[in-house]
Amino acid sequence: MTDWLPPLILATSLLPAVATFFLHQESHVWRNTLNLGGALLKVGLVVFMLVEVAGGTLHETRIDLVPGMFLLLRVDALSLLFLTLSALLWLLTTVYAIAYFDRKPNLSRFFGFFSLCVFATTGIALSGSLLTFFIFYELLTLSTWPLVVHKQNAASMRAGMSYLLYSLPGSVALLFAILWLESAAGPVEFANGADFADLDSASQRWLFLLFAGGLAVKAAMVPLHRWLPAAMAAPAPVSALLHAVAVVKAGAFGFVRVIHDVFGIERVTDLGLGIPLAMLASVTILYGSIQALRQTGIKRRLAYSTVSQVSYIVLGAALVGPLALIGGLAHLVHQGLMKITLFFCAGIYDERAGIHEIAELNGIGARMPWTSVCFSLGALGMIGLPPMAGFVTKIYLGLGAMESGAPWVVAVLAGSTLLNAAYFLPLLYRIWFTPPPDGERPGERPLGIVVPAVITGLGAIAAGLLAGADFSPLGWATLIVERHYQP
């Protein structure tokens, strides 16, 4: 079981993806059964592994490719944090997507690439070496592009081109960094770190810069972020996947691996690399929030919010202190729950009421109460209102900044919170305190588009209320730091 469990988890996404490509457009029952079945099986396997890893058991699979090259899949506490988020939100997004698209055209293509995207994300979470990480990282790029251009209109094709123009140079930088490092240090496994004995300090700094450049694209850090707002031309289920589960999280997760499992805390500190990265993350946090204020479209405002919020994870990793890292890792899950709720709701507003612009939200709370309550929960969580999950994140990042000797980060967090309030509260005012326009009341049906938003909205509350529990995102992040990253 130990040898075959990681490939089995990958298969729960890969097999439905491959099979779905061969299904006829009208094979709705088979397509839905394959994708929901794979998602449910993955959640079951993840729950089993959570119990195993909590008890100290690790699962590892090594597949030799050619002499000196191998794929390494490893299930540890950190990989399970990302994998659990991916598995749970994939299931809910699948339910949402089935109801959202109903019987629109090209669904076999969509769900095939949708599952392939989750397969790549799962591989990134399970990667135990740099080479394995890079293979799945690039597969994620290739599998996401067809989802971005799914509508095949002019806006989506431009968004897809922008995505590739940013992603491919980042891939080159990341590949060059891996080849340079492994030519000097041999194959790098995350559990062991890299051997930098044959590389001088200048080479190590250049290597880190290449890694950071390759990862910053998917993490949507300034100035490599512009592809993400453009990608809002994609359908709502794709936006939810991009912002909460897959692409941006892959970049942030990669930063955690490179800082803590390739270079190591002491080397990052000695080379003076952590503070410059923390400063770039802080600039991205504030810039994303300022740009969000300027947007009049709902999805574009949410997109710039993601630019800001994902850099909280990078900030937590860059400060190289236990409390900051706990906050950053917990936010990987917290942001996923809050942001997917917001995009689910934005999709419902669009699909059921034809609402795209912020000015069109007037009075929608009385007309679509379930959706609007969920949207409000996600927005208040992003602001950081207690006891929401976002509040827990900001408290730990602030404490971690003081612990790491970077008190200026507290000012960044305070400024970000004020900006979050500035761009979310006017939306909530329009939703709940302005009179609705005359016209027919839009329905909140089918349940398949509303129930996932309710579940994730409640999850954002639960992650904050139950933060002290061992099984909460914060509790699991604490376990990761205590087991793997404490001196």
For 5, other C-beta atoms within 10 Å of its C-beta total 18
Q: Which of 117, 349, 386, 356 is nearest to 249 (CA)?
A: 117
List the structure tokens of 397: 């990042």
Q: Which residue has the tokens 């409390």?
A: 323
Structural domain of 379: 279-487
pTM exceeding 0.85:
yes
DSSP code at position 260:
I
Q: Which residues contact 248 (CB under 8 A, 6 or more apart)?
A: 218, 219, 220, 228, 242, 306, 310
8 A C-beta contact, residue 228 and residue 292 = no
Query: Are 164 and 138 a contacting pair, CB within 8 Å?
Result: no
Residue with tokens 């794979």: 38
> Do you find a cis peptide bond into 387, omega within 30 degrees of 0?
yes
The model's pLDDT over 383-439, given as tens digits with 9 standing for 90+, comes to 999 989 999 999 999 999 999 999 999 999 999 999 999 999 999 999 999 998 877
Does residue 339 sit within a domain? yes
| 257 belongs to a structural domain | no
Q: Are 364 and 372 in contact (CB under 8 A)?
A: yes
Q: In this structure, is residue 284 part of a structural domain?
A: yes
User: Does a structural domain hold residue 306?
Assistant: yes
Residue 2: per-residue pLDDT: 52
Residue at 360 is within a domain: yes
pLDDT tens for residues 254-280?
A: 999 999 999 999 999 999 999 999 999
**CA-based angle 357:359:363, to the nearest 5?**
115
Give me the number of domains the chain comprises. Answer: 1
Q: Is residue 373 part of a domain?
A: yes
Nearest Cα neighbor of 398 from 389, 390, 407 is: 407
| Residue 231 confidence (pLDDT) | 85
The answer as to whether 107 is a domain residue is: no
- Tell me 22's DSSP state: T
For residue 363, tell me if it sits in a domain: yes
Helix residue ranges per DSSP H, 261-321 = 265-270, 274-294, 298-318
**Under a CB-based contact definition with an 8 Å cutoff, are residues 318 and 326 in contact?**
no
3-state helix vs strand vs coil in the chain, percent to 5 = 75, 5, 20
Residue 446 scores a pLDDT above 90:
no
